[in-house]
Structure 1
């Protein structure tokens, strides 16, 4: 269980997170939806130690994560696929994947995981010697997910994985999210595509201006009039 309690973050005079609390149960998919600037990405970056929280708690299986170095958080099993993919454009697919396993030393298992990534994303295997900067947005997103999987995460956090992708790649990415979760990886997903996110989510949280407004199962939120009007373009 990843448990966030009363998490607050300030950017100068801006109160970006206002004491939010949420739970990410092991083996589930949890999504955060909300408008730009609601605090979704700040939540993920705070969990990873990339943004310093002013107060609150982030516990993983009972251990406090706040204050730990990002490398230590990755080693504990929590990994982020950042918004914008952030692959290393001048490095090949193989080199990007190798960097994803930077905290590991089990060479045989690393190579087995590389082959698993290639099974998930055959296009990466076809182009494993190609530089990432020559890839389309969708191909770079595959690589970003594959790189994260190379660290063998227990919790995979994804920040806007479908942003800017062609519809074909959007469907593919959400299929992969389902598959990764079916293999036992817990997923915390931030996504502007509310319908697609809630379709795959066990639980959803709606964020507004740094606060959690309400939550429910993915199915219930899809049927909620407030969500339908604000995020699904209905009503």
Structure 2
């Protein structure tokens, strides 16, 4: 579905991504794990056209994304739920969701997807009239994911969806990610919660200082001694 080959990104004198290769097959959950500054968010920003690459290719359904603007990439079915939620605090829940469908013209489909989001997140339906900025962190994260779904994505990318959430809410968010995947959406997930993300991922990549140092089946990475020591808090 999406294939990254030899992707290099520079920020001034910083070599942020160093020739990474990533394959995201259709209908799979793929996760990128790594410490802060490893290049995870830069990878997502590059896919969305928000950060320009200095070398390499990004192919989506056998077509290069590098020539497209971000809004065109969204219209092709790739959506990013950014780190920090980035909801519109002064707008209501419903207004935030409607903005997620800004590139769509199918009113009946938008209404149907709004109901789908409310089924996934009943709390959002209860608070549809509420200003988004007055909601809890967990509710705002649900709204950010719901807003992303309103764009009708084929590939949904999520940057640290569990960041700052209580353990019970983390469990709920990951349960919802699995449900979204079961509904036919391919998922690229960035997470510092390596254990939770690898448990649901079909495939995983480990990024360190802009390079991929390990990759493999999610379950295999969970039992890898290097991963356990560096990311799961387990000693060898």
Q: TM-score range by the shorter chain?
A: over 0.9
Any idea what SS the aligned residue of 1:37 has?
coil
1:124 and 2:112 aligned: no
Any idea what SS the aligned residue of 2:123 has?
helix
Q: Cα distance, 1:206 vs. partner?
A: 0.3
* Residue of structure 1 in register with 2:37 after alignment: 37
1:5 and 2:5 aligned: yes
Q: Cα distance, 1:67 vs. partner?
A: 2.8
* Residue of structure 2 in register with 1:149 after alignment: 149
* Residue of structure 2 in register with 1:158 after alignment: 158
- Post-superposition CA distance 1:8-66 (Å, at most 9, x none): 11010000001101100000000000011000000000000111111111111101001
Any idea what SS the aligned residue of 2:88 has?
coil
* Aligned-pair Cα RMSD in Å: 0.5
* Residue of structure 2 in register with 1:72 after alignment: 72
Q: Provide structure 1 residue ranges, at least 5 long, that are not aligned to the other structure.
A: none
* Residue of structure 1 in register with 2:217 after alignment: 217
* Residue of structure 1 in register with 2:102 after alignment: 102
* Residue of structure 2 in register with 1:58 after alignment: 58
* Residue of structure 1 in register with 2:27 after alignment: 27
Provide the rounded CA distance (Å) in 2 between the counterparts of 1:168 and 1:66: 39
Provide the rounded CA distance (Å) in 2 between the counterparts of 1:64 and 1:86: 28
Provide the rounded CA distance (Å) in 2 between the counterparts of 1:94 and 1:138: 17
- Post-superposition CA distance 1:60-79 (Å, at most 9, x none): 11010013100000000000
* Residue of structure 2 in register with 1:139 after alignment: 139
Q: Cα distance, 1:208 vs. partner?
A: 0.4
Give TM-score, length-normalised by structure 2.
0.99
Provide the rounded CA distance (Å) in 2 between the counterparts of 1:168 and 1:136: 14
After the TM superposition, which parts of structure 1 deviate over 4 Å for at least 4 consecutive aligned residues?
none
* Residue of structure 2 in register with 1:91 after alignment: 91
Q: Cα distance, 1:168 vs. partner?
A: 1.4
* Residue of structure 2 in register with 1:231 after alignment: 231
Provide the rounded CA distance (Å) in 2 between the counterparts of 1:66 and 1:140: 31
Provide the rounded CA distance (Å) in 1 between the counterparts of 2:66 and 2:158: 19
Provide the rounded CA distance (Å) in 2 between the counterparts of 1:104 and 1:45: 22
Aligned residues: 235
Q: Provide structure 2 residue ranges, at least 5 long, that are not aligned to the other structure.
A: none
